[in-house]
A and B are shown apart, each in its own frame.
Chain A
Amino acid sequence: MDQILGNIGLLFEFPIVNFKIVIDGIMIGALFALAAYGLALVWGVMNVKNLAQGDFVIAGGYVSWWLVQHGFPALLGVPAAFIVMWGIGWVVYKLVISRVIERDLFTSLLATFGLAIMMAQILNLLFGSDTQSVDLGYETLYFADGLIDIPIAKLIGVIMAAILAAGVIIFMKSSRMGQAIRATAQDARAARVLGIDTEKVYAFTFSLNAAICGAAGAIIVMVWVIQPFYGITHSIRAFVIVTAAGLGNLPGVIAAGLGIGALEQYGAHIFGIGYQQAIAVMLLLLVLLIRLIQQLRVRQVLK
């Protein structure tokens, strides 16, 4: 308890520490937002709530890590993870997701939960249960007498996340496939009537989601750590963000992603790093409760 109060005191004593925490949080939150955007996409288009989302992230991280272990440059990992996870996403869609789309929501939730367990265990068997990361070998920039440190690797990570996000947004706005995806999200039946091959749209959307997650994971392995069983926490973060922001609300997803990142960093600072997972989950419960109270005020429930 004393330690917690001490940590809080530190925030007031050295206000600059807040600045560092927020910057750290925003940098990692940008990556959370990417995975959450993918979840919102799949959720909105085919109404599948994918609990394997975080495992796609982790798998993408391992693709990049494996490449680096075999002598490839680290930055190549991001496009490589994008492509590999695209393929895996497509296979997963064809084998599992395509068969649960029209079923009740719990079915898809449970099927993706089983998938999450499988993927985590496979990664564990292939790569072992140690935490892994990729060192880009760049320097760290120091500000404010060394109280703020920003590794260049993290800056590169944020920039790549921004490029990826911009690319996806432009794609969704201007390409034919992007338009078809948005049309299907609004009304799948009407889209079918108008001659859109929704099956193709679904497969594309899910693959795209897996690829976005994979690329996010490849960035995460450069700026943070990965471990086979970290997937579920990433999935929960994605759910927190989407629940807080709502579907089809891109600025909301980005804002919520950055916010969750910052809140988690604050939590880790105050309670200690051991509580990181607990904090992510507590944020989920908090967001659910707030949304629920909002709904109750208009005499509704959270469906």
Chain B
Amino acid sequence: MGNNKIILYAAILAITVIAPFVFPAFGTQLATLWLMIIVALTWDMTGGQMGYNSLGNIFFYGTGMYVAAAVTIGMVYDVGEYTSAHGGGITSFTDQQYFTGMFVGILAAGVFCSVCAVVIGYLTFGLRGPYFAIGTLGVAIAAGELVSNWDWIGGGQGIALPVYPGDLDEGKVFFYFLFALTGVAVFLFCRWLYQTRFGAAINAIRDDEEKADAMGIHTLRYKLVTWSMAAFFVGIAGGISAFQLIHFEPLETAYQTINLGIFMVVCVLLGGKGTLWGPVIGASLFHVFKEVTWNYFLGWQWVALGALIVVTVVYFKDGVMGYLLHTKPEWFGVKIDQKASEETS
């Protein structure tokens, strides 16, 4: 690692640590930025690096929320009684119950989601291209609809978790750091993964799966492992969100197919698919754009976001990193055979 890189990483780390203290009013927005980075990075693991464009990764987010909530509540109360009481009467959690429940719940969310990814992946990884995208979208929509009909975990009304036991502002900082820690972990994990043989193999699956098959690469196994790793982190992010939001419901918050579910894809496209930094840059750009412009659209925000998706996809598909790779290939150490290209031309 060069000196410049060390400085860059140190600067980002420093900003990460001091940001919530310098901008205390934006604590929640900053936490959401990290959430966007997490879901974008994990989407890129399959979408960008492996060529499997899932529209259903939001399934893991929603499932993570519900698993974390159910486990945390289940450790103290009966979940069915708790939800049917709508928080009336039996919502007291001691500090210890809260934090143990949170730890176990979030971890369980991650583990459960990676198991889900293996099961769903086993059924859907035979689908290619658009079929995979639509199939996974179907899984996410179906899950949202089923959960909203499942009264044991609150049905369409949703479910409420206990409030952070400390001061409100302290809670904001706490959740910010949970997200930031997860985000940094995901980034470092991806950075390591893409340097391994495994990383090269999933790139091979993206570029030509038939060839990868013919070379004896365990394509299905690698696909399952990649998606379950992504799902683990998304599940954890969902679990943290559950505690941060306190109350959530299935269709608009947990399995929010057309919000976060599609934003993560747009973030990756905006930043550059199949690159390490692309999702981070894209998520930051997208989030800032969204937060800054949101109030100026006077009710037309969602239309503007739809338009942003269309414009990004149609006119700016390679993203920031793709643009740089095209204009400044030498930054990325790409060599071009001058002689050969002269000969052929």
Contacts and interface: CB of A to CB of B under 8 A. Distances in A.
B309 A106 contact: no
Contacts of B145: 275, 277-278, 281
A119 B306 CA distance: 8
Interface stretch (A10-18, A22-30, A295-303): A295-303
A196 interface: no
B190 interface: no
B313 A107 contact: yes
Contacts of B193: none
A118 B128 contact: no
A302 B265 contact: no
Contacts of A289: 123
Quick one: which of A100, A117, A282 has the most chain B CB within 10 A?
A117
A295 B124 CA distance: 13
Nearest to B156: A274
Interface of B: 53, 55, 123-124, 126-131, 133-135, 138-139, 141-142, 145-146, 148-149, 257-258, 262, 265, 269, 299-300, 302-303, 305-310, 313-315, 317
Nearest to A286: B138
Interface size bracket, A side? 35 or more
A281 B128 contact: no
A280 B129 CA distance: 21
Given A110-B313, A114-B308, 15 more contacts: A106-B130, A109-B53, A109-B130, A111-B309, A114-B306, A114-B310, A117-B305, A125-B300, A232-B141, A274-B148, A277-B141, A281-B141, A284-B134, A285-B138, A288-B135
Interface in A76-116: 96, 99-100, 103-107, 109-111, 113-116
Name B's interface SS. helix
A122 interface: yes
B314 A100 contact: yes
Given A99-B314, A122-B303, A125-B303, A301 B142 contact: no
B149 A275 contact: yes
Contact of A288 (B131, B265, B269): B131
A243 interface: yes
B141 A113 contact: no
